[in-house]
Chains A and B, each alone.
Chain A
Amino acid sequence: MSALLEVRNVSRAFRTTLAVNDVSFAVQPGELLGLIGPNGAGKSTLFNLIAGVLPPSSGEILFDGKPVTGWKSHDIARVGIARTFQIPKPYRQLSVVENVMLSAFLREKSIAGAHKLAEATLADIGLADYAGLPANLLTVGLLKRLEVARALAMQPKLVLFDEIMAGLTPTEVGAMTRLVAELPARGITVIWVEHVLYAIMKTATRMIVINRGRQIAEGTPAMMARDPAVVKAYLGEEMILA
């Protein structure tokens, strides 16, 4: 079985702090991998290393069997890895549909084609009513969904979701969870960082827990809820996990 993404002994230091410390894991095609850990555990840094925002200090990253270590983010995007930003980063002066079109250009070179793909993606995610609004008028919840729409419009092989549930109402969390759960069947492998644990525990096929830059546990969501190291890292949160 060949992994879609392989992270080998990856570390990243900021001055003297090791934000990510010798992390290794592999993601198989069709997986929905949950990545959790307390605040400051290094989840976002790990995402930034995979997405090419930062180069790792050491270690190797392979995508589809090819080394992509240290590639720039636009090259990473072109091999088929999409990502969302924890703090939404919309193009504020563009409309919602234009925001999504910029991602769609990766697959559809013509303006008309990209517009069509963007509108289909917006309909998919329940943002069709907002297509013509400038992105700077959206609320945080809508911006989170715009992030997801932009990632999916790239028709990626692998998508990295960084806390897409924060700021959503419980109803919206339910709808978004269903959408994410469908992705593997559509040929999109998912790595998902999330603080809204009940959503991710229900959906993920496998989980990795990191704390202080190190991987401390790996297994099914049910196993994670019983793992003493995980419970300790999430001190006082075992109720939510269970």
Chain B
Amino acid sequence: MSMVIPAPISSTCIPVLPKRGQISWFEIVLLVMSFGLVVSGVAPSLQDVILLSFLFAGLGLAWNIAGGYAGLISFGHSAFFGVGAYTSTILLLRYDISPWIGIWAGAVIAGLFGAALALICARLRGPFFILSTLAFAEVVRIGALNWVSLTGGPEGLSIPPMASLVGMVFASKTTYAALMLGYLVFVYAITKGLEASRFGYYLFAIRDNEDAAGAAGVNPLLGRTAVMALSAALTGVGGSLFAQYFLYLDPTYVISPELSFQFALLPAVGGLATAIGPVLGSFLITPLSELLRSHLGNAAAGLHLVIYSFGLMVVMLYFPAGLAGALNKLTHWRPFR
């Protein structure tokens, strides 16, 4: 009963996807390059693109924790993004609480929203689950639009543009870029820890076969609720950072299906259920969409969306395992041994 198992060809290549619980050279190089971009002093217009790429990589990673690892495909994550943004902003404007604290309050409340979504959708699977997440975010958005006394309704909320460390408002885009990179590294570290943990294995089990997971003593509902809360909380942190950068938010700006799709798209393009996937996805797509919009947005209205969508179709058709999967194939690394 023996079988020939191909040995990994590992001497010359750089594995893109490391073994569970390990860090690859590729990841370290990417981190050093990202840090280099922050301190290198590129033009402010490029800094915009860079810091948004960092922020969205973090948001894609947060989505991937539920959507990739646990298979809970959500098109409602902008609700958590909005809840995080609103919580820290309202605490700042009303109660003069520093966003450095407000961010964590936002994470907790977004996490509670995530747990609520998981419990509401406890019995729903597949497309029914996905549609419910979409509806959930719409409910949150409409709630925010109409609860004018709390959220300012459609007029939105503005954070005074006065640079201050306590207020988390900075004059220099370099500081914002460092902040966003910090967020990216934070969510990345949590993802890597999850991959190598027992809880991470429980999530794989729930995703791959819920009946078998139950028979092995894993409580699927508890797992789904916990992972949705974690994913939502981390998305909420991203929402607060977004608010601190743009200094303005209104319900339709921070809670929208387009934004929710964007969170899901980055890991889908980069590689689902991998740590590096959402980062690669964001580093490709965020600059692409920003540059296309700024260069073509005025010349031919809508043309940038056509090119953007076409690019997405190419990636989805020819790299079904995402960019991470494609790069991994290039390096001839065997995913098992």
Q: Which A residues are closer than 8 A to B by beta carbons?
A: 51-53, 72-74, 77-78, 82-83, 85, 89-95, 98, 101-103, 105-106, 109, 111, 114, 126, 129-130, 132-134, 150, 154
User: Which of these, B1, B215, B336, contacts A132 with CB under 8 Å?
Assistant: B336
Which residues does chain B contribute within 8 Å of A111, judged by CB atoms? 21, 196-198, 201
Question: Taking the nearest CB of chain A, how far is it from the CB of B52, in angstroms?
Answer: 32
CA distance A53 to B210 in the complex (A): 11
CA distance A130 to B337 in the complex (A): 9
CB of B337 within 8 A of CB of A101, answer no
Which residues does chain A contribute within 8 Å of B207, judged by CB atoms? 93
Task: Given A72-B219, A111-B196, answer yes or no on A133-B336 (Cβ-Cβ < 8 Å).
Answer: yes
Which B263-322 residues sit within 8 Å CB-CB of chain A?
Answer: 273
Q: Which B residues are closer than 8 A to A by beta carbons?
A: 1-3, 5, 21, 196-198, 201-202, 204-205, 207-209, 211-220, 273, 335-337
CB of B220 within 8 A of CB of A94, answer no
Which residues does chain A contribute within 8 Å of B213, judged by CB atoms? 74, 91, 102
CB of A90 within 8 A of CB of B209, answer yes
CB of B201 within 8 A of CB of A101, answer yes
Question: Taking the nearest CB of chain A, how far is it from the CB of B75, in angstroms?
Answer: 22
Interface centre among A74, A82, A85, A114 (most CB of B within 10 A): A74
CA distance A105 to B5 in the complex (A): 27
Question: Taking the nearest CB of chain B, how far is it from the CB of A76, in angstroms?
Answer: 8
Task: Given A101-B201, A111-B196, A126-B1, answer yes or no on A93-B215 (Cβ-Cβ < 8 Å).
Answer: no
21 residue pairs A–B, Cβ–Cβ below 8 Å: A52-B214, A74-B213, A74-B216, A74-B217, A74-B219, A77-B214, A77-B215, A77-B217, A85-B215, A89-B209, A89-B212, A93-B273, A94-B204, A94-B205, A95-B336, A102-B218, A111-B21, A111-B198, A132-B336, A133-B336, A134-B335
User: Which of these, A78, A90, A106, A109, contacts B212 with CB under 8 Å?
Assistant: A90
User: Which of these, A91, A114, A132, A133, contacts B209 with CB under 8 Å?
Assistant: A91
CA distance A109 to B220 in the complex (A): 18
CB of A91 within 8 A of CB of B1, answer no
Question: Taking the nearest CB of chain B, how far is it from the CB of A131, in angstroms?
Answer: 9
Residue of B nearest to A88 (CB): B212
Which residues does chain A contribute within 8 Å of B337, judged by CB atoms? 132
CB of A103 within 8 A of CB of B1, answer no
User: Which of these, A72, A103, A130, contacts B216 with CB under 8 Å?
Assistant: A103
Question: Taking the nearest CB of chain B, how far is it from the CB of A107, in angstroms?
Answer: 10
CA distance A134 to B334 in the complex (A): 11
Interface centre among B5, B198, B220 (most CB of A within 10 A): B198
Question: Taking the nearest CB of chain B, how far is it from the CB of A229, in angstroms?
Answer: 33
CB of A89 within 8 A of CB of B211, answer yes
Which secondary structure dominates chain B's binding surface? loop
Which residues does chain B contribute within 8 Å of A126, judged by CB atoms? 1
CB of A92 within 8 A of CB of B1, answer no
Which residues does chain B contribute within 8 Å of A82, judged by CB atoms? 215
CA distance A165 to B336 in the complex (A): 28
CB of B208 within 8 A of CB of A94, answer yes
CB of B214 within 8 A of CB of A74, answer yes
CA distance A168 to B211 in the complex (A): 23
User: Which of these, B2, B202, B214, B273, contacts A73 with CB under 8 Å?
Assistant: B214
Question: Taking the nearest CB of chain A, how far is it from the CB of B274, in angstroms?
Answer: 12
Which residues does chain B contribute within 8 Å of A53, judged by CB atoms? 211, 214
Which residues does chain B contribute within 8 Å of A90, judged by CB atoms? 208-209, 212
Question: Taking the nearest CB of chain B, how far is it from the CB of A91, in angstroms?
Answer: 4
Question: Taking the nearest CB of chain A, how far is it from the CB of B208, in angstroms?
Answer: 4
Which residues does chain B contribute within 8 Å of A150, judged by CB atoms? 212, 216
CA distance A129 to B335 in the complex (A): 16
Which residues does chain A contribute within 8 Å of B21, judged by CB atoms? 111
A-B CB proximity, top 4 nearest: A91-B208, A77-B217, A73-B214, A89-B212
CB of B212 within 8 A of CB of A91, answer yes
Which residues does chain B contribute within 8 Å of A73, judged by CB atoms? 211, 214-215
Which residues does chain B contribute within 8 Å of A89, judged by CB atoms? 209, 211-212
CB of A74 within 8 A of CB of B208, answer no
CB of B5 within 8 A of CB of A133, answer yes
Which residues does chain B contribute within 8 Å of A134, judged by CB atoms? 335-336
Residue of A nearest to B205 (CB): A102
User: Which of these, A52, A74, A92, A93, contacts B218 with CB under 8 Å?
Assistant: A74
Excluding A114-B198, A133-B5, 9 further A-B contacts by CB distance (< 8 Å) are: A52-B214, A74-B215, A77-B214, A89-B212, A91-B209, A91-B212, A106-B217, A111-B196, A132-B336
Residue of A nearest to B5 (CB): A132
CA distance A93 to B196 in the complex (A): 15
CA distance A130 to B336 in the complex (A): 11
Which residues does chain B contribute within 8 Å of A106, judged by CB atoms? 216-217
Question: Taking the nearest CB of chain B, how far is it from the CB of A117, in angstroms?
Answer: 13
Which residues does chain B contribute within 8 Å of A94, judged by CB atoms? 204-205, 208
Task: Given A91-B204, A91-B208, A150-B212, answer yes or no on A129-B218 (Cβ-Cβ < 8 Å).
Answer: no
